[in-house]
Amino acid sequence: MLKIGNITLEIPVVQAPLSGYSDRAMRALALEYGAELTYAGLMLDTSASHPRVIKKITFQPGPDEHPVGAQIHGTNPATMARAARMLQDAGYDLIDLNFACPARKVLARGRGGAMMGKPELVIEIYRRVRESVKCPLGVKIRTGFDDSQQSKDNFWQICQSVVAEGVDYITVHGRVVSQKYRGKADWETIKQVKQKFPQTIIFGSGDLFEPYDCVGKLKSSGIDGLSVARGAIGNPWIFRDIKAIMQGKPLPAKPDLAEQGRIIKKHIDMIFALYYKGKSVGYFRKFAAKYCLLHPERKKAASEIMVAKTPAELYSSLKKWYPIED
């Protein structure tokens, strides 16, 4: 059992923030399959502190999806603090500060991963946000900006200073920012973070795809929890599988086609309820590509489902490849 402030996780496996993916629909399915905490995708501080924007359904947490975290990025401590408070007031149970995002647009504005090179500003933002919210507050970092010594020093300085401020948890993605998503995640550094700061809750992130391997990484690093990211896209079953292994239960059978079809349809229905139907078919394509990986005829199924242009085409191609009920 893991306690993050007032949030209790029986099994410490969470669904990572995933920009462009972890909306209400994906989070609801992760929750259904055992993720005890999920996160919305990264939000810009200026958007999340804008009263009109924050009212949009896509910015709000769902009524029955607690606990759910919101993650923000920015460089202005006052705006970050305001955004955090508005998200807390909108119903998010936890605030996460992103100092890890490697997207070019984000880095160009000095946000996200670029903050790994600005330890003083990181702590200033952390303090301002801490003063503005009551809920648990954590940070998401990478193991540095690049492979330089200066970068390593900045990484340890950031860890040290947020720990000194009593951060509720740190999530470490075991890659440097310049690496983006290439190469293997460095779980050795994640393990060292836990060894240096044994009193702080540490989540690990990076290459969490196979349930047994995930649990192996958790155990061998000695950290407190796992933040499952790409491994959960089109695969909410990963949470159920990791939990079963952690509880010493047999690994559940792989979802059969009926179960896969039921979840895919549920996901599509939720997306249609959240967004304009026209836009939703295209938006769902990236999830379909992942869901189809479980299908025994994955290439054929994907090639038909992913060319659907209208909701009717999407439902009919789905029915062709999965035994779904109306």
Which positions lie near ligand FMN, rule CB under 6 A? 16-21, 41-42, 71, 98, 100, 140, 173, 181, 185, 205-208, 229-231
Residue 291: enclosing H or E segment and its boundaries?
helix 277-291
CB 204, CB 193: distance < 8 Å: no
**Considering beta carbons, is residue 162 or 318 the nearer one to ligand FMN?**
162
**Considering beta carbons, is residue 279 or 286 the nearer one to ligand FMN?**
286
Compute the least distance from the CB of residue 325 to ligand FMN, in Å: 31
Long-range contacts of 217-222 (CB under 8 A, 24+ apart): 217/187, 218/246, 220/187, 220/191, 221/187, 221/190, 221/191, 221/194, 222/191, 222/194, 222/195
**Considering beta carbons, is residue 16 or 162 the nearer one to ligand FMN?**
16
Query: Which one, of 315, 302, 206, 210, lies nearest residue 254 by Cα?
Result: 210
Compute the least distance from the CB of residue 295 to ligand FMN, in Å: 22
Compute the least distance from the CB of residue 255 to ligand FMN, in Å: 20
Compute the least distance from the CB of residue 315 to ligand FMN, in Å: 26
d(CA 67, CA 35): 10
Length of the chain: 326
The DSSP result for 28-72, as a single string, is: HHHHHTT-S-EEPPPEEHHHHT-HHHHTSTTTSPPTT--SEEEEE
**Considering beta carbons, is residue 218 or 318 the nearer one to ligand FMN?**
218
CB 208, CB 214: distance < 8 Å: yes
> What residues does 140 pair with on adjacent strands?
98, 171
